Each structure stands twice: as structure tokens, then as C-alpha cells.
Amino acid sequence: MSIIAGHKITKNLIENISFPSNEVMLDLKDLKKVYPTPKGDYVVLEHLNLQIRKEEFVTIIGHSGCGKTTMLSMIAGLNPISDGSISVLGKPIKGPGPDRGVIFQSPSLMPWMTSLQNVLLGVNQVFPHATKAQRKDIAKYYLQKVGLEDAFHKKASELSQGMQQRVGIARAFAIKPKVLLLDEPFGMLDSLTRGELQDILIEIWNKEKITAVMITHDVDEAIFLADRVVMMTSGPKAKIGDILDINFDRPRTRKSVLEHDDYYTYRKHLIDFLEH
């Protein structure tokens, strides 16, 4: 059971961990976020450093309110940076862009539009030079990938929560981002639907070779999906507290992961971190 010793990275090392620049997709450097409040400035994040490699799947865990959504929305370019920088492939971000797709906990679809129209909204913006037929093909391809081939023309308001989240996933992949950012996307779903959507997510992620950063409060989900689980310290002034490498082969099945000798060691490591 030396795995914890083997994979535990001390806080000091995390500050220094870096990969060759040609391997890095996302680079968060000395990131800081301050929210002004009536009682004065609230420093949510400070000295947050994190590099994420191309094609990596990283999950983020941390206590509620520590600043996970803040960090993700900053990477998305939807929330201004107070200090430090975020780069995608070495270029500092300057707001939202089609290189980064986002999936939130609730998919915020246009309720009066069909699944297809909702996915097309993004596709039309990102591929203005494609023909109408080509754009439709892209949207349909991803809707079919998430199992919605029979629901192209159903209005979003008529879909179950699980189906709406499937549209959200299709919409995010259809714009062909380099990075997919997911904020507790399956948090509101029942466990069966959650499992199905995890499998779909991994399948498309693997095929499209994109980089994924996903916040989750579910330790098992964090392990099952990730190459690395990033643990955030509690706020204020939250930063990266620890990182755990998950060395399971891919493709993974739930059964193979649960039966693996290291599974409970990983799990204990994460739970010990959260309980501290």
C-alpha cells in the first residue's frame, strides 16, 4: 500500500509542478480572484497555480464555496481575473471563446426551441462558413452520440432533466472546443442517468481528443473519470491543495475500477483531504 506515498504530492511540489510547454493546454499562473462585498474585498482564490496537459481529463474537488465555480468561470472567460493569468496553448485568454466549451449543472437551453435548434445555436456561431446542411449534420451527429436521435425535433421544455443535459453535452461538443469545462454537470441527475452520461462523456472525450476539466462533489465520479484529481483548499484564499494521479488503464469500466486494488487507497486519500 505504498501508493499514497508514491502519489502524494506535497504543497511545495505542487507550486513547482510544471510540464514541457508543448504539452500544456491550460496554464493557470498565480491566479487571484477578489469579489468586492459590502463588508470589503473577499479574496476567494490566491496564488492558484495549475497546469493541465493536452487531452488530459482532470476532475476538481473541494468544499462547497471554496471557489471551484469561480475558477472554472474564469477559465471560460466569463468572470474577470483579478491577478495572475490563464493561458490556452500559451496564449492568455481575453474573454470567452469557441476554444472553450462549458457545461453547467443545468444546461440552460432555450425552452421553446427543439434539441436540434439548441445545438445549432452554437454550431451556427462557430461555423458560419459551413453550409446549412453541414451545420445540421454536425448538430445531428452529436445529438445522436448522446442518444437523442429520436428527439431532434422535441422542444427542450418537453425533455426530462437527463435529456436536457444530453443536449447540453451535444451542444458543447458540437462547437469542437479544445477544452471542455464542466461544472457539476451530473449533480442533479439520478445515479443511473449519471452513470450513462459519464460513459457517453468519456466516449466522446476519448474520440475527440479534447482536454476536460470537470468539477464534481462525487469522489467516485472524480476517480472514475480522471487522469488526475485536483483538490482545492477551503477558502478564503483557496488554491490547489493536492493532486492525485489516477493510474487506471483506459478504457475503464465501473467494475474494473471498483475491483482494482488501488481504488480504495485513492478514495481514502480524497476523503482524508476533504475531512481535514
Ligand X SMILES: Nc1ncnc2c1ncn2[C@@H]1O[C@H](COP(=O)(O)OP(=O)(O)O)[C@@H](O)[C@H]1O
- Which spans of this chain sit near ligand X (rule: CB under 6 A)? 35, 37, 42, 44, 62, 64-70, 235
Amino acid identity at 202: I
Q: Find the binding residues for Mg ion in span 31-70 (CB under 5 A).
A: 68-69
Nearer to ligand X, 104 or 205 (CB): 104
* Closest separation in Å from C-beta 16 to Mg ion: 28
Nearer to ligand X, 59 or 115 (CB): 59
Size of the site for Mg ion (CB under 5 A): 2
- Asked if 75 and 84 count as a contact pair (C-beta separation under 8 A), the reply is no
Residues whose CB is less than 8 angstroms from the CB of residue 214 and which lie 6 or more positions away in sequence, other chains included = 57, 58, 59, 60, 180, 181, 182, 183, 185, 225, 226
Residue 70, binding choice from Mg ion, ligand X, none, Cβ under 5 to 8 Å by partner class: ligand X
Q: Is 73 in the site for Mg ion (CB under 5 A)?
A: no
* Closest separation in Å from C-beta 69 to Mg ion: 3
Residue 67, binding choice from Mg ion, ligand X, none, Cβ under 5 to 8 Å by partner class: ligand X
Q: Which residue is nearest to Mg ion (CB)?
A: 69
Nearer to ligand X, 66 or 123 (CB): 66
* Closest separation in Å from C-beta 249 to ligand X: 31
Q: Find the binding residues for Mg ion in span 195-214 (CB under 5 A).
A: none
* Closest separation in Å from C-beta 106 to Mg ion: 12
Nearer to ligand X, 69 or 216 (CB): 69
Residue 35, binding choice from Mg ion, ligand X, none, Cβ under 5 to 8 Å by partner class: ligand X
Dihedral, CA atoms, 205, 208, 20, 76, nearest 10 degrees?
A: -70
Nearer to Mg ion, 179 or 214 (CB): 214
C-alpha distance from residue 42 to each of 83, 112, 237 (Å): 14, 39, 9
- Asked if 251 and 57 count as a contact pair (C-beta separation under 8 A), the reply is no
* Closest separation in Å from C-beta 7 to ligand X: 24
* Closest separation in Å from C-beta 117 to ligand X: 30
* Closest separation in Å from C-beta 78 to ligand X: 11
C-alpha cell at 203: 466516449
Nearer to ligand X, 77 or 235 (CB): 235
- Asked if 231 and 243 count as a contact pair (C-beta separation under 8 A), the reply is yes
| Grid cell 445540421 in the structure block, residue | 136
- Asked if 57 and 225 count as a contact pair (C-beta separation under 8 A), the reply is yes
Residue 112, binding choice from ligand X, Mg ion, none, Cβ under 5 to 8 Å by partner class: none
Nearer to Mg ion, 51 or 69 (CB): 69
CA distance linking residue 121 with residue 98, whole number of Å: 13
Instruction: Return residues touching Mg ion (CB under 5 A).
Output: 68-69
